[in-house]
Structure 1
Amino acid sequence: MNIIVNGENRELSERYSLEEALEMFAKQSPFVVMLNQEFIPKSQYSQWGLNEGDELDIIVAIQGG
């Protein structure tokens, strides 16, 4: 199955939940998640399954000043 993570094509060997995918791809925290341009609350990560062609954006909070 192929998905797009932060603009890069990724091939997955099986269907994963959003929560499982974040364990693989989220390298920093805190972060927010968009799936197909829709914000997903953390409380719903385990309820979403990824599908062929999904776009997953992991947005990391940065501090500046």
Structure 2
Amino acid sequence: MNILLNGQPRELAPPATLADAIALLAPPPPYAAAVNREFVPRSSHAGRELREGDEVEVIRPVTGG
């Protein structure tokens, strides 16, 4: 299945979850994730199934003043 992961096309073998997509990036914590612009709590990453064409964003918080 094809998805967009942080704006880049990626292919995952179905059935794929948000946790599978995040594993491709291996981001160090802390980070947040969204599917199709909808925030997904970390406790739901493994259960959130992805579909063809989903847009996944994994972002890190920005701090500063």
TM-score normalised to the size of structure 2? 0.83
| Alignment-derived partner of residue 30 in structure 1 | 30
Mapped partners of 1:37, 1:60: distance in 2:
15
Structure 2: segments with no counterpart, 5+ residues? none
Shift >3 Å, 4+ stretches: none
Offset at residue 28 of structure 1 (A): 3.0
Q: Name the one with the larger helix percent.
A: 1
CA contact 1:26–1:58 (8 Å) conserved in 2: no
CA contact 2:32–2:39 (8 Å) conserved in 1: yes
| Alignment-derived partner of residue 47 in structure 2 | 47
Structure 1: segments with no counterpart, 5+ residues? none
Give CA-to-partner distance per residue, 1:6-33, whole Å, 9 cap, x none: 1111122x12111122122242321111
Identity value in percent: 39
**Number of paired residues?**
64
Q: Which amino acid aligns with 2:22?
A: L
TM-score normalised to the size of structure 1? 0.83
> What SS does the corresponding residue of 1:46 show, helix, strand or coil?
coil
What CA RMSD, in Å, does the superposition of the two structures yield over aligned residues? 1.3
Give CA-to-partner distance per residue, 1:16-65, whole Å, 9 cap, x none: 11112212224232111110110001111111111110000001112223
